[in-house]
Amino acid sequence: MTKRSELMREQSHKRARFARPYVVLASVLALGAGGVAVIAANASAGNSSPPEAGRDTGGANTRQRAQTIDCPDVGDRLRDVPAASRRTVDRNLAQLDVQVADAYRRLTSGRAAGGTVLTELKDKRGATIGRIVNALRAASVDTSGLTRMSGCQVKWDTVRTTGQTGGQGPGQGAPGQDQGQGAPDQGQGQQGQGSSRDDFVDIRNVRPNVNEPGFRRDGSTGTFTSECGRNENGRFNSDNVIVAPGVSNGAHHMHDYVGNDSTDGFSTNESLAAAGTTCGNGDQSTYYWPVLRVRDGRQERDVNAPGGGIEGNVGTILTPSEVSIEFRGSPVSRVTPMPRFLRIITGDAKSFTNGTANANASWTCTGFENRELTDKYPICPGGSKVVRTFRFQSCWDGRNIDSANHRTHVAFADDNGVCPQGFRAIPQLVQRITYDVPGGAVFAVDSFPEQLHKPVTDHGDFINVMSNRLMARAAGCINSGRDCG
């Protein structure tokens, strides 16, 4: 199991205290079809006072503050949702996301003061949470604490900008060094980039931090691989059938899809089982993740669509240069075949506001894969590709194919590869996705609008739709130490 980077462990989301009760400053925000707007933002009743903006000592770079909305994640708190209540609960959880996205747009457009936006949002969330509570109480489920989760606050993020565009990588001008990806520059002179320089780090400056547990005698050393393509056909939608079933645009950002060729927000187990697949071995599973975009100011085909430009996800969508889908064994035991229709989410799409407890996706560069980042995008040297890796939970409770918060039915093994008590080892899905990012380009992952395209919000989704026979074959290969596909 890969440990998180030192940078990730050091990251803190605690709100700082500031001496000034009221500060007016400029915030850089990505809007519409990729434009960057500078607006005046101020502290309002019920908000924490925003930190003061200043200028870097380097002269060209300016530190400013971007604002977003931080709300308690109601869905993550749910532990028991009976089947009879699930549709009502899922529909209202999706409505909470709509409300936050709408409030974020109002806040960043300057059409309403922050205090007004937060007050109106609290009222709307209160009514929606009330419907969730009523549905759960009707099923005799404990709802203590949910009614206190309607209030939100403004969260502030440092945005370092520069007037320069198309800068070279960190080795610019240095003899004997590669000039690779450009360091990201954002400002009025570079419309549509939408990423802060502080979200990036030169991978060469990251210390090796990947540690894999050694296999014991009883470990399962084989692998099973599905070759499912790279989404060459451009199958995208902004649904999320796991978190928001029966809802259009439930993710508020675009996903790449490979595997099952019918997946959208309205898919059912029956429709998935009847569908075709892009996988060469007949694996009908669905694999999806947020698209990666070059923030180049160009209009992608979803520029006026929900989940796309309407919600600040702008720029050219990159097709991966390679997608690897591999199932691996346990270092300490044999693996149990996954049940059909098991659902697993790794990472947290709301980690920027939720905190990093569930953040898991990693970023690195080819040639440097012994060092990984969770809370930064990598700047890769010339000839090196950007790599995203999703290591899914490899322990299952042995009973449920899903859970109320889509997390508690599965778990990660510890650093030695041992599953928690009451869980059993299953094949671990590991997805490795690489990209040829143009030199000097700024890129960002699609996200919920209020999550500001932060790398820490990256995540992957998986529904196992392998036939029982194919899954048994996969587990058999893994347990016998063979490499199959």
- Note the pLDDT of residue 33: 31
Q: How far is CA 168 from the centre of its chain?
A: 27
Looking at the fold, whether 147 and 228 belong to one and the same domain comes out as: no
**Per-residue pLDDT at 16 exceeds 90:** no
* Residue 189 falls inside a structural domain: no
Looking at the fold, whether 235 and 107 belong to one and the same domain comes out as: no
* Residue 176 falls inside a structural domain: no
DSSP per-residue letters across 371-398? S-BSSSEEEPPTT--EEEEEE---EE-S
Looking at the fold, whether 112 and 223 belong to one and the same domain comes out as: no
Q: Which of 192-206, 286-300, 442-456, 462-476 has the lowest mean pLDDT?
A: 192-206
Of 458, 463, 430, 292, nearest in space to 360 by CA = 458
- Interior/surface letters 39-69, b for 16+ CB within 10 angstroms, e for the rest: bebebbebbebbbebeeeeeeebbbbbbbbb
Query: Domain boundary residue among 157, 180, 204?
Result: 157
Instruction: Give the pLDDT mean for 332-356.
Output: 97
How many domains is the chain built from?
2
Looking at the fold, whether 236 and 256 belong to one and the same domain comes out as: yes
Query: Domain boundary residue among 137, 157, 177?
Result: 157
* Residue 174 falls inside a structural domain: no
3-state secondary structure of 27: strand
User: Taking the model in full, what pTM does it have?
Assistant: 0.84
Instruction: Give the pLDDT mean for 304-320.
Output: 96
Task: Name the band, by pLDDT with cuts 50, 70 and 90, for residue 239.
Answer: very high
Looking at the fold, whether 355 and 284 belong to one and the same domain comes out as: yes
Looking at the fold, whether 388 and 291 belong to one and the same domain comes out as: yes
Q: Apex CA 97: angle with CA 96 and CA 102, to 5°?
A: 100
* Residue 62 falls inside a structural domain: yes
Q: Which of 99-113, 260-274, 352-366, 389-403 has the lowest mean pLDDT?
A: 99-113
- Note the pLDDT of residue 157: 83
* Residue 184 falls inside a structural domain: no
* Residue 45 falls inside a structural domain: yes
Looking at the fold, whether 420 and 287 belong to one and the same domain comes out as: yes
* Residue 54 falls inside a structural domain: yes
Give the residues across from 67 on adjacent strands.
Answer: 156
- Note the pLDDT of residue 475: 98
Looking at the fold, whether 394 and 332 belong to one and the same domain comes out as: yes
Looking at the fold, whether 7 and 48 belong to one and the same domain comes out as: no
Instruction: Give the pLDDT mean for 224-233.
Output: 97
Instruction: Give the pLDDT mean for 397-424.
Output: 97
Query: Domain boundary residue among 128, 157, 186?
Result: 157
**Per-residue pLDDT at 245 exceeds 90:** yes
d(CA 393, CA 343): 11
Rounding to the nearest 10 degrees, give the CA dihedral for residues 397, 403, 404, 405: 80
- Note the pLDDT of residue 281: 97
Q: 66 lies in which domain range? A: 25-157
Average pLDDT, the chain: 84
Reading the block at residue 348, the tokens are 């947290």
**Per-residue pLDDT at 349 exceeds 50:** yes
Quickly tell me which residue has 């702008």 as its tokens. Answer: 314
Looking at the fold, whether 77 and 209 belong to one and the same domain comes out as: no
Q: Which of 56-70, 128-142, 201-215, 303-317 has the lowest mean pLDDT?
A: 56-70
3-state secondary structure of 471: helix
d(CA 281, CA 466): 10
- Interior/surface letters 473-485, b for 16+ CB within 10 angstroms, e for the rest: bbbbbbbeeeeeb
pLDDT-above-70 percentage for the chain: 79
pLDDT-above-90 percentage for the chain: 73
* Residue 261 falls inside a structural domain: yes
3-state secondary structure of 187: strand
- pLDDT: is 297 or 114 the higher one? 297
Looking at the fold, whether 304 and 369 belong to one and the same domain comes out as: yes
- Note the pLDDT of residue 13: 35
Biggest CA pair distance of the chain: 70
Looking at the fold, whether 372 and 447 belong to one and the same domain comes out as: yes
- Note the pLDDT of residue 213: 87
